[in-house]
Each structure stands twice: as C-alpha cells, then as structure tokens.
Amino acid sequence: MRCPHCGSLDDRVIDSRTLANGESIRRRRECLACEFRFTSYERIEEKPLMVVKRDGRREPFERAKLERGVQRAVEKRPISQLSIENIVNEIEDEAAVRGKGGNEIASSVLGDMVLHRLYDIDKVAYVRFMAVYRSFESVDEFLKVVEQIESERKGPAL
C-alpha cells in the first residue's frame, strides 16, 4: 500500500478489524519509511452477472424479472409459490455458475433453463412460456409444440 504521506510502498499492518458483518476489513498501517500511520479498507468487489440479449445488448441479471416470467407462465395453474421460488433459485444458481468465467450469460440459455424446469412440472406453463420465448409467428408453430408434447405423453405405440 502506498503511503499517503511520503509515497513509500513499504508498510506494516498494525491492526485489522472486520466491519459491516464481515463485508469489509479495516487495516491500520504504519509506513516503514516515515512512520506515518494510515487506514486502509478492503472489501470484495462483486461484478454483477450480465444477461446478453439477442440483439447484443447487455443488462444486469434481475431475479425479479425471471420470477415474473415464470409467474406469468404458471398463472392459474396448480403450481405452488414454493415451487416457483425453487425454480427461480435453481436457475439463479445455475446461471451464476455458468456465467462465472465472464460474468455473462445469454438470455437464450436462461430461457432454455426455464423451459426445462417448466416442462418437468407443468406442460401448459411450458407451452405458455415457449410461445413468448420463441416468439411464435403462427398457430402452426404453436400446434407443433403441443403435438410433440402429446405424442411424448402417450408414449411409443405398441
């Protein structure tokens, strides 16, 4: 740490204290060149997870936005609030892990994570989310997804 008095880089730590419930550390230092005492603070610098949109824009990940999308998909369906929170928690955790390298994750990856979880709990919610997420242009596209789900539900023909 550079001494604010003489500019020397040689110092020693006299005292360290944890502040703000462990969020930061205050250190009292003494310059070895001029014996000037000063205080420094350390805290973790967290970079927010950024979502890369289809058009290349980047915006901070918002848990509330993800939760709103899932809420809309399961609206008027027999899905508990606890299930919704579990889905959102799982996606948020997985997104943090996947985006760890560059602190970025594609919106398409987030959408696929939501679809995967909705498919497992409620097919109607899955179709609702997919209709918005995939931006269906026609009824035919919508019907193909419904037919695919129906054929999987019935299983292989004997």
The model's pTM is 0.65
Number of alpha carbons in the 13 Å side-chain half-sphere of residue 78? 0
Tens digits of per-residue pLDDT, 65-80? 999 999 999 999 999 9
Give the model's confidence band at 158: pLDDT under 50 very low, under 70 low, under 90 confident, else very high: very low
Mean pLDDT rounded to a whole number for the chain: 88
Residue type at 128 in one-letter notation: R
Find out whether 49 and 99 touch, Cβ atoms under 8 Å.
yes
